[in-house]
Amino acid sequence: MIATLLALNIINADIPMIEKRATFKTNNKEERELEYLIYLPEDYDSNNESYPLVLFLHGAGERGNDLELVKIHGIPKLVEGGRNFPFVTIAPQCPEEGYWDRPEYVSSLISLTKDVINNYRIRSGQVYGTGLSMGGLGILATSIKDPDLFAAIVPVCGGADLKYIERLEKMPIWLFHGDKDDVIPVENSISIYQALKPINNDVIMTIYGGVDHDSWTETYENDDVYHWMLKHSN
C-alpha cells in the first residue's frame, strides 16, 4: 500500500497510462450497451500484479456517442493531461437519451464493473466509484442497488433518493459540493450526509464556499481524495 500511495504523487510520467476503448454488451433486456474507456497503469503489461479499480461516471453534458467527450472532466481529463494513477479506471459513456441513475443504466454499470473485474487483474476488495453531477447521482444509485460492489465512493455534486439510503450504512463516502450550485443544489449532499451520519461513521462531506456547479475540478485534482479512497477495502 505504501508503494501505491507514493505512486499517487506522480503528476506527469514519461510513460502514459494505457488507454483502450471497448464495448460492454449484454443479453439482459433490462440493461443497455455501453461504450467505455479503460485506463491501465503504465506498468500493467510488464508484470502480473493486480490493481485497484475505479469506476468514473461523467456528467450529463458528456452524453452521446463520442468517447472523446468523456475526457472533458475528472479522471479521464487528468490522464489525458499526463497524470499516472496506480489503479485501473473505467469510464463509460451514457447515451444521449440516458441518465446514469435510471434502473437500466444502474444495472448496466454493475454488470460492466463485474465484467472488468473478471477480465482484468483487479485487486479483490479494492473497487471504488466516483462521478460528477449526473455521475454523482449514478454512483450513489449504483451503490444503493449493490452495496457490496464498492469499497468506498466519492460522489461529486450529486444526490440520491433517500428511500433506501440506509443500505449505505457501512459504505465509506466522501461527498463534495459547492454551496452556490444552481444546477444540483448543495442540499442534496447535505440531506445524504444528515441521513447517514447517525448510522455511518465513515461518511464525510466537503462543501466548497463560493463554488457553483463545478466542484469537480478541485476535487479530482486533490491527491487526498485518492489516498482516502485507496485506504478502504471490503
Domains of the chain (ranges, CATH numbers): 2-230 (3.40.50.1820)
Q: How high is the pLDDT of residue 117?
A: 97
Average confidence (pLDDT) over 161-168: 96
The residue to which cell 479522471 is assigned: 75
Q: How high is the pLDDT of residue 16?
A: 84
DSSP β-ladder status, 88-93 and 34-40: antiparallel
Beta-strand ranges (E) seen in the chain are 18-24, 34-40, 51-57, 88-93, 122-132, 152-156, 173-178, 203-208
Q: Which of 8-12, 118-122, 157-161 bottoms out in mean pLDDT, i.e. has the lowest?
A: 8-12
Distance of alpha carbon 81 from alpha carbon 106, whole angstroms: 29
Distance of alpha carbon 89 from alpha carbon 41, whole angstroms: 9
Q: How high is the pLDDT of residue 2?
A: 38
Average per-residue pLDDT in the chain? Answer: 93
Has residue 25 got a pLDDT over 90?
Answer: yes
CB-based burial, 88-122: b 16+ in 10 Å, e otherwise: bbbbbbbeeebebbeeebbbbbbbbbeebbeeeeb
> pLDDT tens for residues 66-96?
999 999 999 999 999 999 999 999 999 999 9
Q: Which of 9-13, 101-105, 141-145, 146-150 bottoms out in mean pLDDT, i.e. has the lowest?
A: 9-13
Average confidence (pLDDT) over 3-26: 68
Has residue 23 got a pLDDT over 50?
Answer: yes
Q: How high is the pLDDT of residue 1?
A: 41
145 falls in which pLDDT band (50, 70, 90)? Answer: very high
Has residue 5 got a pLDDT over 60?
Answer: no
**Considering only CA atoms, which of 41, 75, 35, 69 is closest in space to residue 55?**
75
- Map residue 189 onto helix, strand or coil: helix
> pLDDT tens for residues 173-214?
999 999 999 999 999 999 999 999 999 999 999 999 999 999
Helix axes 134-145, 103-119, angle to 10 degrees: 70
